[in-house]
Chain A
């Protein structure tokens, strides 16, 4: 197992390097630079600005310099917020996004898994159609509709929760629910599909035939296999949560990483873009690794396949 983890970590390095290179040249290729401003700064000043940030050197030199700094763990200063380091900004924003992600995912699992199990056990009855239809609401309503809708109902009309901010636990509820409901729908469907498949397996049928307690059949025998698709989905889901949370952060005024990320792209804040892309990529790779380990634990067959 150790060998497995180690080899994956080793694989991560070239992956990150390719991503860094791709992103570096992609962002430079896009029109517009960090110092294009409305007041159309005189050429001499623009030149000064660019030289301060080393943008006047040949592109390839800049690239090599960036890689060199990267190896030392230096992500560089932000172009849009001079005086602040990219790593500093990521360090303040990431815990926020992480909390949001964890809460949302928890809600997704807490709602989705039981819904999916019930639906699977009561396939093609109203107990199947109802939760599945409700969960559909999560899938087909984009977050920028669901968010304001929940705010309108629970904040504006009922006054139960604050409509924005990230200052205390009360602020966490609506954003997490908005994001969580979206993923709950997928989790429910995947759980249902997984459970249906597992419940057909011979070993489950045998257990049933032997007269085992139905509850035990579900938890002890079926659940492990049934949750497999959900687990596989968890990795990309969590990564998507964190990187796609921009809309939620904009609607609820949350200082998370998604906001920094999109702002950086729109502002051609090269270092910030690179920093966040690499950070996300590393995160995704880590999550995929954890998910694979979790999968192996759940499904002995997968373990064998390593």
Chain B
């Protein structure tokens, strides 16, 4: 006799995700890239900043599997090292934007009324502030610190997260179980953290997965402006910027970091889509 296993919401979502081929491929790609970025610098015989001025602009070969750059540095080492940086920036900046955005949105949505109106008004104003000047100024003032690089990026990305969280919070606030909790005399804090927040996990995860690629692109743009990571450190953004300029003379400089960068963004986007399909019951039909 078979006993039916009771399925939770999470388990259902996971099963749906499993069925989505693109999403699973993406997940494996991401795990693969992250692993390579982590162990790459450890297994490489060269340090990422080790110069060899006699072997500049060499194509992929025996000694340097990805080739060398304009100062004879090994591209494999630099690409994998850059992966650590780019992924770290992506994750940490997303985390920052998440923390700020979710707290802001939850507070605003839950409090409602005038406070909410003003808080959202502030968000509208910030939306109208062009991002470039804000980040340039932040980088200029705090740019010396790598840590603050992603604080700056995260500080720009939280707006949409706040809006989404607020909308969801307002919906949930009116739901029955929250009203029941209020009737039972639970404190606001408890309601927020034990009842509302768990229901926000879905949109949060989806949005976070989609913010990481946006952040990584932003970091690349900053590298273009000369505001990214300091030399001789490399990020995928700074590597592809240099590679794009030398495309006709040394295509491997663009190809390898570009491949890593694109695959990661690709995978993150597809994974995000897959998560959205999986966690959002509506689109599960068809």
**A–B contact (CB under 8 angstroms):** yes
Is the CB–CB distance between A266 and B128 below 8 Å? no
B262 touches A244 (CB 8 A): no
A200–B283 CA distance with the chains assembled, in angstroms:
8
- Given the known interface contacts A200-B286, A266-B136, the answer about A236 and B127 at a Cβ–Cβ threshold of 8 Å is yes
- B213 cross-chain contacts in A, Cβ below 8 A: 139-140
A174 beta carbon closer than 8 Å to chain B:
no
From known contacts A141-B262, A142-B220, A142-B240, infer whether A277 and B286 are also in contact, taking CB-CB under 8 Å. no
A281 to B127 Cα, complex, angstroms: 9
Interface Cβ pair total, 8 Å cutoff: 115
Q: What range describes how many residues of A lie at the interface? A: 35 or more
Does B91 sit within 8 A of A, measured CB to CB? no
> Is B128's CB under 8 angstroms from A281's CB?
yes
Docked complex Cα distance between A207 and B207 (Å)? 34
Partner of A285, one of B128, B134, B224, B240: B128
Contact-residue bracket for chain B: 35 or more
Across-interface contacts of A246 in B (CB, < 8 A): 132
Instruction: Tell me the minimal C-beta distance from A163 to chain B in angstroms.
Output: 12
**Contact code string A258-287 (vs B, CB < 8 Å = 1, else 0):** 000110011000000100110011001100
Interface of B, secondary structure class, is: helix
The answer to whether B221 and A247 have CB atoms under 8 Å apart is: yes
Q: Contacts A15-B125, A277-B130, A284-B127 hold; do A144 and B136 have CB atoms under 8 A apart?
A: no
From B129, B136, B140, B273, give the contact of A31 (CB < 8 A): B140
**Chain A interface, DSSP helix/strand/loop, else mixed:** helix
> A170 on the interface (CB 8 Å rule)?
no
The distance from the CB of A142 to the nearest CB of chain B, in whole angstroms, is 5
- Taking the complex as formed, is B248 at the interface, i.e. its CB lies under 8 A from any CB of chain A? yes
Q: Which of A140, A193, A197 contacts B265 (CB 8 A)?
A: A140
Q: 5 A-B contacts, Cβ less than 8 Å apart? A: A27-B133, A148-B245, A197-B282, A243-B131, A265-B137
12 more CB-based (< 8 A) A-B contacts, given A123-B286, A152-B248:
A15-B125, A27-B137, A136-B265, A136-B270, A142-B237, A196-B286, A236-B127, A261-B132, A265-B137, A281-B128, A281-B130, A284-B127
Taking Cβ atoms with an 8 Å cutoff, the residues of B that contact A are 22, 121, 124-125, 127-134, 136-137, 140-141, 213, 217, 220-221, 224-225, 237, 240-241, 243-245, 247-248, 254, 258, 261-262, 264-266, 269-270, 273, 282-283, 285-286
A positions within 8 Å CB-CB of B: 15, 18-19, 22-23, 26-27, 29-32, 123, 129, 133, 136-137, 139-142, 144-145, 148-149, 152, 156, 189, 193, 196-197, 199-200, 236, 243-244, 246-247, 261-262, 265-266, 273, 276-277, 280-281, 284-285
